[in-house]
Amino acid sequence: MKQPFIFDSNSMRVIANYYPEHFPTFWKQFAKAVDEGHVKSVREVYNELELTVTDQEIWKWVKERKAMFYSPTSDETNFVAEIFKGPHFQALVGRQQTLKGRPVADPFIVASARCCGGCVVTEELLKKNAAKIPNVCDHFGVACTNVQGFLKENGWVF
């Protein structure tokens, strides 16, 4: 099996712009990749999407594939603790997220990719001294790309 790709919520929102009625081939291939376990995500991404997705057709698609959003394993939970040992990466959890009890997917996405030998798919950019997913991935040697890189890696052209 190919390396799994672990999608961040911002990348899920990017593909939501590939309207299913205009890009049916993309959605068929993406659904197949999900079904085969080549594309997956974490439970916290599902929770973030539940709060942010406004397109009902996309939300229906996500809900029908809720099984792609995994709960963390004990290894992943241990790795999240490892991420937070670095005081700099504690900023992955924002003040508003803490105060409002909002889901925080970022450390779980990185932990999932690290533990399964996968690649994170996020639209965040590597920024010097930032607590962003690409910075955490870089620090721990986890592969990271964006939707465009995912499409290129898989040779998908539409």
Average pLDDT for 28-32: 97
**CA 116, CA 121: separation in Å to the nearest integer?**
14
State the pLDDT confidence band at 2, using cuts at 50, 70 and 90: confident
60 close to 31: Cβ distance less than 8 angstroms: no
Q: Are strands 119-121 and 143-145 parallel, antiparallel or unpaired?
A: parallel
Write the CB contacts of 158 (distance below 8 Å, at least 6 apart in sequence).
23, 25, 26
Number of other residues whose CB lies within 10 A of the CB of residue 138: 12
Angle, CA of 38, 43 and 16, to the nearest 5°: 65
Task: Reply yes or no on whether the pLDDT at 1 is more than 70.
Answer: no
What pLDDT shows up at residue 153? Answer: 96
Residue 7 β-bridge partners: 121
What pLDDT shows up at residue 88? Answer: 85
What pLDDT shows up at residue 98? Answer: 65
Residue-number span of the structural domain to which 89 is assigned: 5-154
Q: What is the pLDDT of residues 115-126, one digit of tens each?
A: 999 999 999 999
Enter the tokens of residue 120. Answer: 């994170």
Enter the tokens of residue 16. Answer: 């939501």
Residue 131 main-chain phi, psi, to 5 deg? -100, 75
Give the CATH number of the domain where residue 142 resides: 3.40.50.1010
Write the CB contacts of 43 (distance below 8 Å, at least 6 apart in sequence).
69, 70, 71, 72, 108
Task: Reply yes or no on whether the pLDDT at 15 is more than 80.
Answer: yes
Mean pLDDT taken over the chain: 93
**CA 59, CA 90: separation in Å to the nearest integer?**
30
Computed on alpha carbons and rounded to an integer, the radius of gyration of the chain in Å comes to 15
pTM: 0.93
Q: How many domains does the chain have?
A: 1
**CA 20, CA 144: separation in Å to the nearest integer?**
26
Q: What is the DSSP string of 16-32?
A: TTS-TTT-HHHHHHHHH
Q: What is the pLDDT of residues 110-156, one digit of tens each?
A: 999 999 999 999 999 999 989 999 999 999 999 999 999 999 999 99
Average pLDDT for 10-17: 95
